[in-house]
Amino acid sequence: MNILGVESSCDETGVALVSCEPGTTVPRLCAQALHTQIDMHQAYGGVVPELASRDHIRRVLPLARQVLADAGAQLADIDLVAYTRGPGLAGALLVGAGVACALAAALERPVLGVHHLEGHLLSPFLSADPPQFPFVALLVSGGHTQLMRVDDVASYELLGETIDDAAGEAFDKSAKLMGLGYPGGPALARLAEFGDADTFELPRPLLHSGNLDFSFAGLKTAVRTRLQKLGTNVCEQDRAHLAASTQQAIVDVLCAKSVAALKQTGLKRLVVAGGVGANARLRAQLNAECAKRQARVHYPELALCTDNGAMIALAAAMRWQRGLATPQRDHAFDVRPRWALQAA
């Protein structure tokens, strides 16, 4: 069974081919290709939805051709076409959905709409050290911050989530305030390497709230206030200290809540997924905290932390293996810009 996956929910066009057998063996990634729009959006300091959609249109078919060539496969070898149905930018989602459904119709194959966060959540299964069910998942992307209990594919229980900004948003907005480029997360993390995280005291919102919810909007405000105090001529060293202090505040909260989720569920496995999962400081601290508690942490390969087509093909494959996929055969498509994972 060969599954072509198409991701176009935000600012990355991703296409990949995954093959799988019935049952629970881990699907295999045959080939993948990605185009990131970062350079295009950089001039605007964030994603411009209309530009994103237009660029997906330009990229998706050449990427699909490249994937098939790299995999040594033909169009006729595709058994199922999967695409990101949501959540994401409506126009961007429509491009991937339109292409996937047209391709499936032309090939007379079924098509399956996939939840973007399910893709992120399952992406560690493509790593050299795949997890086993059940586990706690920390989903940390530009738009979402959630802790889930995952018993199997399609068995997701929300344990806690952000009540305002997502962790990635906290990175991005703080980075913007500091005059760093877009996307802010990697830029802020790079600058933080030169700073001391103990220099500036920043809040750890909801750290002691007693539940598993997050809040990051106040942190961004604290960063703004601190910058105002430092004045317009803030030196490079203080900027680095502030970057390190900001990163540490976000990481401390994510770690504490992840550990609390493991305690609450009694589980000993944590899966970290989404763009912020690429953060080295977060990985180091989670590894240390979990080692203390004899818990294991699993991450996607670094290249699969941010958006990609492989995770979409993978999620479709894992659903199909378990008889959970009800592919659309009429090729009529819809997208869901807002869509809760538990409803997928």
Nearer to Zn ion among residue 78 and residue 307 (C-beta): 307
Q: Residue 186: name its binding partner from ligand KG4, Zn ion, none (Cβ under 5 to 8 Å by kind).
A: ligand KG4
Query: What are the structure tokens assigned to 190, written together?
Result: 């790079």
DSSP 118: H
Identity at 168, one-letter amino acid code = G
Q: Residue 113: name its binding partner from Zn ion, ligand KG4, none (Cβ under 5 to 8 Å by kind).
A: none
12 part of the interface to Zn ion, by CB under 5 A: no
Site track for ligand KG4 across 267-286, x = CB under 6 A: -------xxx-xx-------
3-state secondary structure of 17: strand
Stretch that binds Zn ion, among 17-25, 68-76, 80-88, 307-315 (CB under 5 A): 307-315
Nearer to ligand KG4 among residue 2 and residue 141 (C-beta): 141
Query: What are the structure tokens assigned to 184, written together?
Result: 């802010």
Nearer to ligand KG4 among residue 144 and residue 319 (C-beta): 144
CA distances from 21 to 1, 140, 263 (A): 6, 30, 35
Site for ligand KG4, residues 97 to 156, rule: CB under 6 A: 141-143
307 part of the interface to Zn ion, by CB under 5 A: yes
CA–CA gap between residue 82 and residue 110 (Å, rounded): 9
7 part of the interface to Zn ion, by CB under 5 A: no
The beta strand positions in the chain, using DSSP E, are 2-7, 12-19, 28-36, 80-86, 111-115, 135-140, 145-152, 155-161, 269-273, 296-298
Nearer to ligand KG4 among residue 71 and residue 92 (C-beta): 92
Closest listed residue to residue 144, CA positions, set 163, 125, 157: 163
Site for ligand KG4, residues 187 to 226, rule: CB under 6 A: 189
Q: How far is the CB of 132 from Zn ion (least distance, A)?
A: 23
Query: What are the structure tokens assigned to 18, written together?
Result: 């995954």
CA–CA gap between residue 108 and residue 225 (Å, rounded): 58
Q: Residue 171: name its binding partner from ligand KG4, Zn ion, none (Cβ under 5 to 8 Å by kind).
A: ligand KG4
Q: Work out which of 156, 171, 216, 333 binds ligand KG4, going by CB under 6 A.
A: 171
Query: What are the structure tokens assigned to 161, written together?
Result: 């989530």
Closest listed residue to residue 257, CA positions, set 340, 159, 131, 341: 159
CA–CA gap between residue 145 and residue 166 (Å, rounded): 5
Nearer to ligand KG4 among residue 83 and residue 171 (C-beta): 171
Q: Work out which of 2, 84, 141, 248 binds Zn ion, going by CB under 5 A.
A: 141
Q: How far is CA 203 from the centre of its chain?
A: 25
Q: Residue 183: name its binding partner from Zn ion, ligand KG4, none (Cβ under 5 to 8 Å by kind).
A: ligand KG4
Q: Count the residues of the shown chain that bind Zn ion, applying the rule CB under 5 A.
A: 2
CA–CA gap between residue 344 and residue 330 (Å, rounded): 19
3-state secondary structure of 158: strand
Q: How far is the CB of 276 from ligand KG4 (least distance, A)?
A: 4
Where on the chain is the footprint of Zn ion (CB under 5 A)? 141, 307
Residues that bind ligand KG4 (CB under 6 A): 10, 141-143, 168, 171-172, 183-186, 189, 274-276, 278-279, 306-307
